Structure 1
């Protein structure tokens, strides 16, 4: 007796499978990152105390999570809409890496009993004693972190297509990476928890290298960097 092959799934079901897999992968990365973050404070960890709400550690984890979320948003859009294989791979790498890092930072905040974002919508108050922290006054922080794209720029990215979209993505992502440098440098030098310092230093190294690659890709496509 000859066994018949099972029928192929309907096209509609196959179409839904891809976004579902992407969502599950993103959730998995966040859970993995959160689990890694929760290792702080467990036996064998080098952390000895819980940082305070106004500490560099907490402020960095809150603000860099927000900063990363926008990079993930832009990378996800580019990955799904570009036809350029190099940019599709780059966007996928940025999206997956920064989702995992968000998971780690949010895991720390949960362990420390802190809010996921800075109260009051202000950012970088934890850098108020830094001479290069964009003229913050009275420890009040800033409304928008350096490198963040505006709502209009994000709408322009979603409205663009083809080469125009690719160039705009590279411009916005390059400026986004460059805008996070001060926070990464400050946290790598001043955070009290060794794991936080190490993560900030790793981010700084990888994003510096990635910025050079972004510049090369942008120049090859006739684009120029946006002013920071």
Structure 2
């Protein structure tokens, strides 16, 4: 088993923070990304840095675990001091944004409980978790973010739209059934939470679109 091999290497003095100079990868990053909770725990117990960054791509263990939906790995990293608000300086992505965008509601909750900022925005394009969750129809994430203090009226500066306006706009423009329904779900969740247009008006929710498959 890989876990046994890693344990043996660590017991014999292997450096848990050693980085591959050509790729920038390091053990905790790869195991977190792939969801190997037991190996993550072993590395952390031997002093692996939960906030170490891949110098090539700017990625880090908590970001990749949150993005991939590995909730048990996220919990282990947070329990060992991983910063829930750390950001990839190359792409502007951060754990709460990626968990929200990909619909990992349990991870959204875990990050918020450890102090993740529900209103944090990407340094690259001002994107923020609520608009990412709503635009992809992840209603559980929308609910968790709002309960955690996300501002439902916040405007995405790059588009000049708030989350509700973006969902409704994409609903009108989108033809792919799955994505169209995701936009509808996001708009419905926001309206139920009290979202309005920027001028304060409350739009009518369009009829629910048919789903295929």
User: TM-score when scaled to structure 1?
Assistant: 0.26
Return the structure number with greater helix share: 1
User: TM-score when scaled to structure 2?
Assistant: 0.27
Q: Which has the higher contact order (CA 8 A, sep 6+)?
A: 1
